[in-house]
Amino acid sequence: MKELEERILSEGRVLPGGVLKVDGFLNHRIDTALLYDMALEIGRLFEGCGVNKVLTVEASGIALASMAGFVMGCPMVFAKKSRTSNIAADVYTAQVASFTHGNVNTLMVSKSWLSAEDRVLIIDDFLATGAALIGLRDICAQAGAEVVGAAISIEKVFQGGGNRLRAEGMRIESLAKIASMTDSSLEFC
Ligand code: 5GP
């Protein structure tokens, strides 16, 4: 998506460890007009797929997932993160290693909000190693829900997660796909 690529080029900052900082428009201060355009594009890409629930993980996936849910006319559910083992019994859980923080989180979704009737679109702000997507897919499997696919704002293709999951048959649509990035250069696919 051209508009998103231009913002990444003009405002994104590459941090050590292959992390892209886009907190001026995507995940701290949010450009709501850009986010709305992104949600419309996601709605267009998954039109006719029977999506009845959008699923993301707190915190940075929530803004886009909410807007996409609104555009697609369905509720949005977000997985909560816990670093404790004191977890309520009525939740689906998955362990996920965090790319940016280097710790392991337990993702939790209440059994009340995901079921075998659901056709789920997973949404996240970034796709790197694929760990977050795998965790959310696993939670859907526990609920018996069908994963229609995943929509991602920015996929760092060079970190491999997206293509590994596509090879397993998962449909993944990324609005910007970064082929390579260094301190001084960033190239899209
Ligand atoms: P993965 O699980 O695919 O390795 O990483 C995806 C998760 O890590 C996303 O939920 C996102 O919040 C975070 N993440 C991964 N790479 C980046 C990055 O370059 N910048 C930011 N801001 N977050 C990232």
The answer to whether residue 133 sits within a structural domain is: yes
Model confidence at 2: pLDDT above 90: yes
| 157 Cα to the center of ligand 1, angstroms | 12
pLDDT at position 84, please?
Answer: 57
**Structural domain includes residue 189:** no
First to last CA, the chain: 12
Residue 10 lies in a domain: yes
Task: Retrieve residue 54's tokens.
Answer: 């959008």
What's the rounded mean pLDDT across residues 6-15?
96
pLDDT at 101 over 90: no
Average pLDDT rounded to a whole number, residues 38-51 = 98
pLDDT of 138-184, one tens digit each? 999 999 999 999 999 999 999 999 999 999 999 999 999 999 999 88
Nearest CA to ligand 1 atom 14: 126
User: Is residue 132 within 6 Å of ligand 1 at its C-beta?
Assistant: yes
| The total number of structural domains that make up the chain | 1
pLDDT value for 100? 86
Q: What is the pLDDT of residue 184?
A: 86
Asked whether residue 107 is domain-assigned, the answer is yes
Residue 184 C-alpha to ligand 1 middle, in angstroms?
A: 20
Mean pLDDT of 103-129: 96
pLDDT of residue 189: 96
What is the per-residue pLDDT for 88?
65
- How much of the chain exceeds pLDDT 70, in percent? 97
Q: How far, in whole angstroms, is CA 32 from its chain's centroid?
A: 17
* Shortest-distance atom of ligand 1 to CA 124: 10
CB of 155 within 6 A of ligand 1: the answer is no
pTM of the model as a whole: 0.96
- Is residue 53 within 8 A of residue 22, CB to CB? The reply is no
Residues sharing a CB contact under 8 Å with residue 180, sequence separation 6 or more, in sequence order: 158, 186, 187
Q: What is the pLDDT of residue 81?
A: 93
Residue 75: inside a domain, yes or no?
yes
Q: For residue 59, say if its preceding peptide bond is cis, omega within 30 degrees of 0.
A: yes
124 ligand 1 Cβ < 6 A: yes
Whether 38 is in a domain gets the answer yes
Q: Please indicate whether residue 19, judged by its CB atom, sits closer than 6 Å to ligand 1.
A: yes
Residue 42: give its domain's CATH number. Answer: 3.40.50.2020
